[in-house]
Chain A
Amino acid sequence: MIEAARFWAIVVLVVAGLFFTFVSAVGVIRLPDIYARAHTASQTDTLGAGLALAAVALALGWQQASVYTVLLLFFVFITNPTAAHAIARSAAETGIEPVTADSAADGDTREPSTASTDRNSSDDDGGSDVDGGETA
């Protein structure tokens, strides 16, 4: 009984972790600029990794290795936002302009070609090289 509960708990955790990582992958491909992608990247770092590692810890049971898993998760939680912040900040300092709601009100990247040409015509060329070049 306990074994069955554990089995299904592990399956649910792994599937949920896969789901959030999938959403994150879709987001990294679909979203229009580096700042927006950083949001969805943190989904992998938090729930994607968190749920999958929780499943591993549950499977390993009460032993040294599951302490490792918790440590690993703790480490990912501390370092990854710092890395995401460093990346976003370096993007800001190299002068990459974010696509904001008012500048991209017309094209939510559903129609990649028109959205990018609209933006190019309204912005100066500072914004054009930021454009995601969506093909997904």
Chain B
Amino acid sequence: MIPSSVSIEEIFLLAAALFVVLAIMMFYRAVAGPTTQDRLLAVNVLGTNTVVILALLAAGLDEPWFLDVALIYALLNFLMAVAISKFTVERGGVL
């Protein structure tokens, strides 16, 4: 049976909040990471987390257009990771 005290939207919002906490945990690596690639990896994982948070908010707030934002964010996240890792190798070269 469904507990009457919580709605499914609240569960999604709670989950989004917990994902934010996890993202802040990963942020430690983005700040501390000794090499550029460590930071880049952490930011990439943060980006995936953001995509998930956006999707959870879309369900929790019933705003389906958030998923469009999530899709574009996933695209840009990928481009960011590839572009920066390419840049770190051929420093000063054309991306």
Contacts and interface: CB of A to CB of B under 8 A. Distances in A.
Interface in B1-28: 1-2, 8, 11-12, 15, 18-19, 22, 25-26, 28
A96 B82 contact: no
B22 A22 contact: yes
B-side binding surface: helix, strand, loop or mixed?
helix
Contacts, number: 161
Contact of A82 (B11, B25, B32, B82): B82
Interface of A: 3-4, 7, 10-11, 14, 17-18, 21-22, 24-26, 28-29, 34, 37-38, 41, 44-45, 48-49, 52-53, 55-56, 59-60, 63-65, 68-69, 71-72, 75-76, 79-80, 82-84, 86-91, 93-94, 96, 129-133, 135-136
Given A79-B78, A96-B37, 19 more contacts: A10-B11, A14-B11, A14-B56, A25-B25, A28-B41, A28-B42, A45-B45, A45-B48, A48-B48, A49-B48, A56-B12, A59-B59, A68-B67, A72-B51, A72-B74, A84-B41, A84-B44, A90-B85, A96-B35
